[in-house]
């Protein structure tokens, strides 16, 4: 099958709502000899599109890590850049991501937590206060990051957050973490064998 790499076809794919179609559009940039244009997709909201952009840039001899680091200096312009930094960065990038978990833009906070999680740089004691974030998206992302370490969060602290007076996202998050604590306790008590 012949791929259509004409300018209009590539532009249509890159502007699509579907991440898979956008990824195909970014990948088509390489076949069209326009690898440099993939840099605009390094901060796409979809991980698959970011990965395709990094691959196309790498094939064109461009390292995406310095681009991510510079984007994270002004993350409001590209809120998903912190997730991309986590996907291709190193442990040295963790402090930059930690500085963004309190950014005023909720999408930046979400992607900073995602980046920390991918880097393996989650510290439950620093993320735990973000469960009280006013953004449901941040609360969901923080919950996902804290699930592996749920047994380190004080049980009583979580119980308070299940109250009917708390926002729904926080109640759901606290209940998920409490269930994870129970599962961890059951695993620890189970005899080896």
Distances (CA, A) of 32 to 9, 61, 64, 69: 11, 16, 20, 27
* DSSP letter string, 111-124: HHHHHHHHHT---H
Spatial distance between the Cα atoms of 143 and 173, rounded to a whole number of angstroms? 6
Residues 6 or more apart whose Cβ sits within 8 Å of residue 37: 29
Per-residue pLDDT at 12: 55
What's the pLDDT score for residue 2? Answer: 35
pLDDT of residue 184: 84
pLDDT of residue 189: 74
**Residue 31: what pLDDT?**
86
Distance CA 182, CA 122 (A): 21
Per-residue pLDDT, 1: 34
Spans of the chain below 50 pLDDT: 1-6
């Amino acid at each position: 099958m012949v791929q259509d790499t004409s300018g209009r076809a590539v532009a249509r794919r890159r502007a699509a709502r579907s991440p898979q179609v956008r990824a195909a559009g970014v990948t088509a940039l390489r076949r069209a000899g326009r690898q440099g244009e993939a840099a605009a997709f390094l901060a796409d909201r979809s991980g698959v599109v970011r990965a395709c952009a990094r691959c196309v840039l790498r094939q064109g001899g461009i390292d995406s890590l310095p681009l991510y680091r510079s984007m994270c200096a002004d993350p409001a312009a590209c809120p998903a850049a912190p997730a991309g930094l986590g996907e291709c960065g190193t442990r040295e990038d963790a402090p930059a991501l930690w500085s963004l978990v309190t950014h005023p833009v909720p999408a930046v906070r979400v992607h900073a937590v995602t980046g920390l999680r991918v880097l393996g740089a989650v510290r439950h004691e620093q993320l735990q206060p973000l469960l009280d974030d006013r953004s449901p998206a941040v609360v969901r992302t923080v919950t996902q990051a804290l699930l592996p370490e749920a047994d380190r969060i004080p049980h009583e602290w979580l119980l308070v957050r299940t109250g009917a007076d708390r926002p729904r996202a926080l109640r759901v998050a606290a209940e998920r973490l409490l269930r994870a604590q129970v599962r961890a306790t059951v695993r620890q008590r189970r005899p080896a064998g």
